[in-house]
Amino acid sequence: MPADALRGIITNAVADEQRSHTLQRRITARLPELQEWLILPETGAAEALVGFITEYVEAVPSALALVGSVSKPLGFHPYVAPFLYLAEDFFLHPPDGSTSDGLESVLQEAFLAHRLLEEVNDHHVRHRHQPLLPVDMTEANIIVHYLLGDTRASRLEQLVNATATLQIQKGSAWTNLQTLPGSSSGDLAGEVWLQQGRAQPEGGLLARKGAVRLRLARSPEDRDPSN
């Protein structure tokens, strides 16, 4: 049921944007600022960004399902379950109390979900020496950080970091994972991805036409001259 609810929220948000173009107008007004940090097409930059955002948001339900499916046979679902439940709850009950179904509002929840999954993936790499997810979302998450703006994105990052720190302290769930035999998580993730009816991704969102990329290979925090 949560997956259906998530997809319904996302579908409504995308449809709302297609009718109103509210987010596209806001992005158009911010293009000079965004072009400082992002590589965008010379024409149709705002449309390309809305397309990127749409794919980013629509990727959340499948990514959550993938992590849940892979974690069960490999024995660490108790560790990732709180991350998955919280990511779902971000959509169903936004932490800022927002009731908007617009694409910009949903983008915030998608950012929280993808960042939580990034933390799970990073921790899995540290323990298993291989990624859990078949798509690296790091660059896409940084791009969304810029789209949300430093103030809002940093507040969301603080929420992610606090949640991840709390869960990572329960690291005993990973003890058995390091000695489990059988298929690697990467192989299993690819199999589950294909079972979902999706082609094995090759670079994820950023591979699609290469329309939106980071201009500088650095983190959003580098904008702060005090760092």
Print pLDDT tens along the chain (227 aa). Answer: 578 889 999 999 999 999 999 999 999 999 999 999 999 998 999 999 999 999 999 999 988 888 888 777 777 777 778 888 888 888 888 876 555 568 999 999 999 999 988 888 887 777 777 777 777 888 999 999 999 999 999 999 998 888 877 766 665 555 555 555 444 555 555 555 445 444 444 345 564 545 888 886 544 555 443 44
Residues 44, 28: Cα–Cα separation, whole Å: 10
Domain ranges of the chain: 2-218
Residues 87, 10: Cα–Cα separation, whole Å: 14
Alpha helices in the chain (DSSP H): 2-20, 22-34, 45-58, 60-74, 77-92, 103-128, 138-148, 150-168, 185-195
- Contact 220/145 with Cβ under 8 angstroms? yes
